[in-house]
Structure 1
Amino acid sequence: MIFKTHSTVKSLFLACLFAGLLAAPALAFEHFISRDGHQLKDGNEVFRFAGIHAPELHRIEDQARGKCLDDPRGWGQYFKWPTAQEQENWIQSLVLTGHKAMRVYVLSIATQWDQACERETHILPPNTADGMPRLNEAAMVHYDRMIALADKHGLRLILPFVDHWKWWGGRNDLAAFYGEHEDDFYDINSKTYAAYQSIIKQVTGRTNTFTGRKYNEEKAIMAWETGNELKLSNESFVRTTATLIKHQAPNQLVIDGTYLKVNEFSLSDPNVDIITNHFYTVNGNNNPEQILKDLKAINGKKVYFIGEFGLDSAARLNSIMQAAVHQQYNGAQAAGALFWHFRGHRHDGGYYWHKEVTGHYAYHLPGSPENYRNEEMAMADGARLAIAQMDGAQQMQPLPVPQAPVLRPIDTPNNFKWLGAPVGRWYRFERAMREDGPWQIIGDGISDGRNGFNPATDTLFADPMPRQAGQTYFYRVIAFNETGQSIPSNIETYTQPE
C-alpha cells in the first residue's frame, strides 16, 4: 500500500486539473459546420442550437470594481483576462447544460484611457501614423485558449470582429488611430476600413499557440461575423468584407453583422452564409412576431440566426425562444437563438456579474434559486428546454452530476474561496482533524450564485464551528445538483494560531 501525503494528493489533483490544457490538441470535431441553403449542417446532420449568450469567454468586465474614474466618458469599466481554469469552467458550464454553439463578443480596441484604467485590449494602435493596427500577443493567447478549449469540449464558436459601439473599443477607436470619423469604418476607401481588413487578415491567419493550427483551420470556429450590430452596413462594405473573410477562411461561415434589417444584397451575395438580428425592447422588435418577419424577408435564401435578445421578463423571452424553435416559413426555421447573457464562475469564488440599466442581471448556469428576482432559474431552464427541442426532444435533459469544485488555499476559515463546479447548484463543506477523516459537515446547501458578489468585501461561507489553538484542520467541499453530488474537492488545511 502506498500512502500519499497531503501535499502529494494536492499536487496530483492540480496536475489532473491542468492536464487537459497541456495535452496534445483535441480533435472534438470531424467536420466544419457548413451551409446547405437555409440550414446549417454538421456533416450530413442538420445543426441547430440555442442557449444563453456568453460574451466574455476571452475578456472579463470586472463590474465588482465599479466604473473607472480616470475614464472621462463616465461609463468606462475595468476589464481583465480570464484564468485558464475560469475559461475551462465557463465552457464546461455551457457544454454540460447542452450548448452546442456560442457567440462571443468582439475583439477589443485600444483607447487612450486604457493604461489609467488598467485595461489591456486585443487590438493595439499602429507603430506608425499610416501603419496597420497590431494584435496584442498577451491578449490573443487567451483567445487562443478559448478556441482550444472549445475544441476540446465540443463547443462551436461564432466570432465577431469589430464593434459598432464603444463599450470595448469599437469603430470609433479604430478610426481615431488615423484621425478619421467613426463612420469612415463603413467606407471601403478609408484608412479605417483598410485597418479593419488588416485585423481580419491577421486574426484569421493567426496560428493558435495551443493547437498549432491557424485560426482558419480550426473546426471549433463555426463562423466569422463582420462585427457586432453594424447598423450602418452598406452594400460595398458587406460585399467587400464577406469576400475577404471567405478568401481568408474558406471552410468557415460568414455572418453579415448588420442588425435591425435584412440586407437584400446579402441574400444574393455568395460569400454571406448567415443573416442575423438582435431583439431588444428599445428597438421595438423584442417579440415572437419578429422571427416570422425575418424569415419572410430572408425567404430561405440564407441561414437565419438570432444572435441576441433579452432584457425583458422570462415569460416574454421564453415565448420568443419558443418561436425561434418552432416558427417556420416555407420550411425554413431559425438555425439558432441566444438569450442575452451569461457570466461564469470567478477563480476564487462566486460569479462574475453584470447589471444592465434596465435592472436585469446576467444569468448564471445552471441557475441559482436565490436570484429569483432576476428570474434566473426560469431563463436557465428555458434555454435548456430550447436546446433539447432544437435536437428534436420534448423536454430538457437532466443535468449531469457535478464535477469536483476546486478549494483554494485557506488564509482564514472565516472566508472560504473555491472555484464552483460547472453544473453545481449548491455545496457542502466538511472538516476533519485528519486527512483521512472522519469528516464532519460544517455547512450544507451553500450557494455561490448571488448577484452583486464583491470578493473584496463579501464572504460566501465561513466555518461556524469552534477551533482549538494549535490544531490543524482539513477542509473539503462537495458540489450538488438535483441529479447527484460530485466527488470531494482537493483538501486544504488551516492551523489555528496559538
Structure 2
Amino acid sequence: MKRFSFTAKSTLFLLLLSGQMMSAMALEHFITRDGHRLLDGQQEFRFAGIQAPELHRIEDDARGKCAADPRGWGQYFKWPTALEQENWIKALSYAGFKAMRTYVLSVEQEFDAACGRETHIQAPLTKGGLPRLNETAMVHYDRMIALADKYNLRLILPFIDHWEWWGGRKQLAALYDEKEQDFYDINSKTYAAYLSIIEQVINRKNTLTGRLYKDEKAIMSWETGNEIFETNESFLNRTSAFIKQQDNNHLVMDGSYIELKEFALSDPNVDIISNHYYANVCTDCAARVLEDLTFINGRKAYFVGEFGLLPGKDIAAIMQSVVHSQYKGAKSVGGLLWGFRGHRQEGGFYWHQDYEYFSYHLPGFPEGEFNEEQYVIDAIRLGQAQMDGLKAAPPLPVPEPPLLLPINSKDWINWMGSPLGRFYRIERATSLDGSWYIVGNQVSDGENGYDPKVKPLFSDKTGVKPGKSYFYRVVASNESGESAPSNVVQVIPVSG
C-alpha cells in the first residue's frame, strides 16, 4: 500500500494560501458615474477582461451531463473551495484586469436533488411565501466579494437569468405557479419574489467582511439580470428605482441586450447600458460598438458585457473597437470576453465548451493553440493596457508557489497551479535537506477538457527504489521568472 504525508511545512503553506483573514478594505472609492464616464475617485475607470461567470458556482463539465435531468443538457454543479476562489481572483487581478462580471444567482428547480445540485435561491417555506437565500451558497458569494476587495477587482453582479442554465425567470415563476413571462409583470407574484431577492441580497451582511453588501466597494454595479431582453419600461423603471432605494452607493445596469431601449436611456436610476455581441446580435460586431455609442449619445455609460465565440482576429477587432470607438467624445467604459475558467484544486483547470469554442485559461497555454488561447488573451490584455494609457501590456508578475497535492504514487502527481504560472518543474529528493533532482520540466497544466480523475498532470518515470522514502516539490514559471518551491510532499512507493 502506498502512503503519503503532508509535512508541517505543507500544513502551514495551506493555511497561508487559504486567505481567510479578509477584514481590511483594500478599495478606497465606490465606482461612480459622471455622464458617460465611470470614475474611481477622480480617475476615469475603464476596463477590459475575460468574463468569469463561475466565481461563486461551478458547472463541473468533467462530470458530463446529469442523466436525471430530462432536459438533456442539465449538468452537475458544485461550490468552489476557498483556495479555488482566491486562485481565480488573483489570476484575474494579476493579469491586469480591473473589473469582472460574474454569473447570476441560481434558482431552485425540480431536478436539482436528483443531480446533487444546490442553488442560491430556494423555494419559500410556505406556498406563496417569499423565496429564501441558501446560506451555504451565499457564504461562497461572501468570499468572492471579500477576495475581490482584497485583490482590487470590481464586480458586476446580475440578479436573475433569462435562461434556464442555472435556473432563471422560468424556474422562479414555477415556484408561484406562474409562467416565465410573469417575471416582467410588476403585478405578479414572480416579480414580487424578484424584488424580495434583490432586497435580501443588497442588505445581506457579508460573513467575512462584516459589511452589508450595499457597503462593499468591491461591487461596481448591480445588473437587473442576465440577457433579460424582454424587459419592458415598467419593469425597468420599478426595478431600478427599487435598487436605488435599497442602495445609494452602487451603480445600476440594465440587464437587457440585443436592441438598446430608449426608455432605459431616460430612466434616471439606470447608470449603465450594456449589450452582448454574438451572432444573434451583430454580423460586424466591431462596427456595432460605434452604432450603440451613437444611439446612446453620451446619456449613459456604455458597456459591452459579453462578446466572443468567434475567431481570434474578430475578437481582437472587437476589443480594439471597445477601446477606441467614440461618439462625440463618449467611449465604452469597458468590454468583457466570454469566458474564463480557473484552476481546479485537484489539478488542472475547469473548462467549458460553447459550440466549437472553449473557455480561456490564464495566462495562456500551448495546449490552447487550437482555441487561439494565447492570441486572444494577449489581445484582451493589450486592450486593458491601452485603456490605461500604455502601448503594450505590462509583463506578467512572477508566479507564486503552486500547491503540491498528496501523492499516492510516483505515477500520479498533481498540484493546484499558481495564478499565471505557465510551466512547472517537478523536483525529487531523498531527504528534506538533500539535493533536489529535476524529474520533469516545462510541464503544463493548461489542457482544456482535463479531468483529474482520469489522468495525472505528471508521472515520475525516472525510477525509484521500492520502500524508500522520497520527497517532491514543484516550481512554477512564466516569462517573468519562477516561483519559490511549493510545499514538500513525501511518498513511500511500493514499486519503482
- Give me the TM-score of the superposition, normalised by structure 1: 0.97
Distance 2:17 2:67 in 1: 38
Deviation, 1:463, is: 0.7
Structure 1 CA distance for aligned equivalents of residues 337 and 22 of structure 2: 34
Equivalent residue of 1:288, what SS? helix
1:450 aligns with 2:467: no
Structure 1: how far apart are the matches of 2:284 and 2:151? 32
Please tell me the residue identity of whatever aligns with 2:448: N
SS in 1 for 2:353: coil
TM-align CA RMSD: 1.1
Cα contact 1:6–1:435 (8 A) shared by 2:
no
For this pair of structures, how many residues does the alignment match? 491
Q: Find the residue that maps to 2:326 and give its secondary structure.
A: coil
Does 2:397 correspond to 1:400?
yes
Pairwise CA distance, 1:436: 1.6
Aligned to 2:430: 433
What residue number does 1:328 align with?
A: 326
Does residue 1:417 correspond to 2:402, yes or no?
A: no
2:7 maps to which residue? 7
- 1:145 corresponds, among 132, 143, 146, to 143
Cα distance change of structure 1 residues 286 and 479 upon mapping to structure 2, 3 Å threshold? farther
Assess, with a 3 A threshold, how the Cα gap between structure 1 residues 223 and 6 changes in structure 2: closer, same or farther: closer
**1:324-403 to 2 correspondences below 5 Å:** 324-357=322-355, 359-403=356-400
Q: Deviations over 1:218-252 (max 9, x none)?
A: 00000000000011000000000000111111110
SS of residue matched to 2:100: strand
Q: Report the secondary structure of 1:394's partner residue.
A: coil
What are the Cα deviations for residues 138-165 of structure 1, in whole angstroms up to 9, with x where unaligned? 1000000000000011100000000001
Counterpart Cα distance in 2 of 1:133 and 1:49: 34
1:463 aligns with 2:460: yes
Conserved in 2, the CA contact under 8 Å of 1:109 and 1:122?
Answer: yes
5 Å matches for 1:238-277? 238-277=236-275
Task: Please state if 1:182 is matched with 2:180.
Answer: yes
* Contact 2:220/2:250 (8 A) holds in 1: yes
Q: Partner letter of residue 385 of structure 2? A: A
Amino acid across the alignment from 1:322: Q
Contact 2:7 2:488 in 1 (8 A): no
Does the residue aligned with 2:428 lie in a helix, a strand or coil? strand
Q: Which one-letter code corresponds to 1:287 in the other structure?
A: C
2:307 corresponds to which residue? 309
CA drift at 1:283: 2.9
Partner of 2:59: 61
Q: Do residues 51 (structure 1) and 49 (structure 2) align?
A: yes
The structure, 1 or 2, with the larger RCO (C-alpha pairs under 8 Å, 6+ apart) is 2
Aligned-pair distance for 1:6? Answer: 7.6
Counterpart secondary structure, 2:245: helix
Output the CA distance in 2 between the equivalents of 1:475 and 1:6: 11
1:488 match:
485
TM-superposed CA distance for 1:437, in Å, is 2.4
State how far apart, in whole Å, the 1-side matches of 2:49 and 2:457 are.
28
CA contact (8 A) 1:286 1:309 kept: no
Rounded to whole Å, the distance in 2 between the matches of 1:473 and 1:450 is 28
Letter of the structure 1 residue corresponding to residue 384 of structure 2: I
Q: Structure 1 residue 14: deviation in Å?
A: 2.2
In structure 2, how many angstroms separate the alpha carbons of the residues matched to 1:429 and 1:49?
37
In the alignment, the residues of structure 2 paired with residue 8 and residue 127 of structure 1 have an alpha-carbon distance, to the nearest angstrom, of 46
Q: For residues 109-139 of structure 1, what are the alpha-carbon distances to aligned partners after superposition, in whole Å with 9 as ceiling and x for unaligned?
A: 0010001001000000111111011000010
Aligned partners of 1:280 and 1:286 also within 8 Å: no
1:117 and 2:100 aligned: no
Distance across 1 between alignment mates of 2:416 and 2:339: 21
Equivalent residues of 2:22, 2:146 under 8 A apart: no
Partner of 1:213: 211
Deviation at 1:497, TM superposition (A): 2.3
Following superposition of structure 1 onto structure 2, how do residues 75-86 of structure 1 map, counting pairs within 5 Å?
Answer: 75-86=73-84
Residue equivalent to 2:474: 477
- Deviation readout 1:369-389 (Å, 9 max, x if unpaired): 121010000111111101101
| TM-score, normalisation: structure 2 | 0.98
The superposition leaves residues 340-371 of structure 1 with CA deviations (integer Å, 9 ceiling, x where unpaired) of 000000001000000112x1000000010121
Matched residues in 2 for 1:160 and 1:115: separation?
25
| SS of equivalent residue, structure 1 residue 430 | strand
* Partner SS state of residue 354, structure 2: coil
How far apart are the structure 1 equivalents of 2:284 and 2:210? 42
What is the letter of the counterpart of residue 45 of structure 2?
F
Q: In 1, distance between residues paired with 2:415 and 2:46?
A: 35
Distance 1:34 1:89 in 2: 28
C-alpha distance in 1 between matches for 2:167 and 2:9: 45
* Cα distance in 2, alignment partners of residues 286 and 317 from structure 1: 11
Judged with a 3 Å threshold, the aligned counterparts in structure 2 of structure 1 residues 250 and 473 are, in CA distance, closer, same or farther, namely same
Q: Which amino acid aligns with 1:150?
A: A
Q: State the alpha-carbon separation in 2 of the partners of residues 255 and 24 from structure 1.
A: 28
Q: Label 1:167 to 1:24 Cα distance change in 2 as closer, same or farther (>3 A).
A: closer
Answer yes or no: is 1:35 the counterpart of 2:33.
yes
1:133 corresponds in structure 2 to 131
Q: How far does residue 287 in structure 1 lie from its aligned partner after superposition?
A: 1.6
One-letter identity of the residue aligned with 2:16:
C
Query: 2:6 touches 2:406 (CA, 8 Å); kept in 1?
Result: no
Query: C-alpha separation between the residues in 2 aligned to 1:476 and 1:488?
Result: 6
- The aligned counterpart of 2:16 is 16
Query: How many angstroms apart in 1 are the aligned matches of 2:51 and 2:306?
Result: 7
For 1:493 and 1:465, how far apart are their aligned partners in 2? 17
In the alignment, structure 2 segments of 5+ residues that lack a partner are none
C-alpha displacement of 1:281: 1.4
Is there any run of 5+ residues in structure 1 with no aligned partner, and where?
none
Q: How far off is 1:7 after superposition?
A: 2.7
SS of 1:460's partner is coil
| Matched letter for residue 61 of structure 2 | Q
Closer, same or farther: CA 55–286 of 1 in aligned 2, 3 Å: farther
For 1:425, give the aligned amino acid. R
Residue range with higher mean Cα deviation, 118-127 or 275-284: 275-284
What letter matches 2:306 in structure 1?
Answer: E
| Percent identity over paired residues | 58
CA distance in 2 between partners of 1:335 and 1:119 (Å):
36
Q: For residues 285-296 of structure 1, what are the structure 2 equivalents within 5 Å?
A: 285=283, 287-296=285-294
Q: CA deviation at 1:470?
A: 1.5
